[in-house]
Amino acid sequence: MAKAQPNLGWLDEACALLSEDSAYRTLGSTDVKVAFAIGDVTKLVVFEAFEIGNVQDLNDERDADLIIRMSARDWNAYLRKRKKGTGPSLLSLDLDQRVVEAANPLKKVMLERYNSSLQAFIDTGATLTG
């Protein structure tokens, strides 16, 4: 059976779309570095104030405030469910399966602090996936 490939191709497009979206700005300022460690691929997305910076490969996970870690198969299934409106929020998923990691408890609180903005980013990505 072929190994599932992580669906992260939408990251750049979601960054561009939401950085220009006035509705996204109403969610508030977001200052967090989030790593998406999906399968064998790890990408870093930097959220700065009301914009989302570029997507880059991540070599050192200590550079991230939060790390979303899932298998490629679970990540792709999560995006499909969010796209259909049947998947849990990232916050709920983390409560159930502990998919978000942080170096310390203060950084982990960033998940709750910026949950609306992070969920909007992931949901935008889910709509962009095929």
What is the mean pLDDT for each group of 10 consecutive residues in the chain (130 residues)?
72 91 94 94 94 91 96 94 96 97 96 97 90
Going through the chain in order, the beta strands assigned E by DSSP cover 32-38, 41-48, 51-57, 66-70, 100-101
Query: Residue 6 in contact with residue 39, Cβ under 8 Å?
Result: yes
Question: Scanning the structure block, which residue is given the tokens 């009301």?
Answer: 50
CA 5 to chain centre: 17
Q: What pLDDT does 38 receive?
A: 92
Q: What pLDDT does 54 receive?
A: 83
Rounded Cα distance between 113 and 128, Å, is 25
47 burial level (CB within 10 Å; 0-12, 13-18, 19+): buried
Domains and CATH numbers, the chain: 11-128 (3.30.1050.10)
Q: What pLDDT does 6 receive?
A: 72
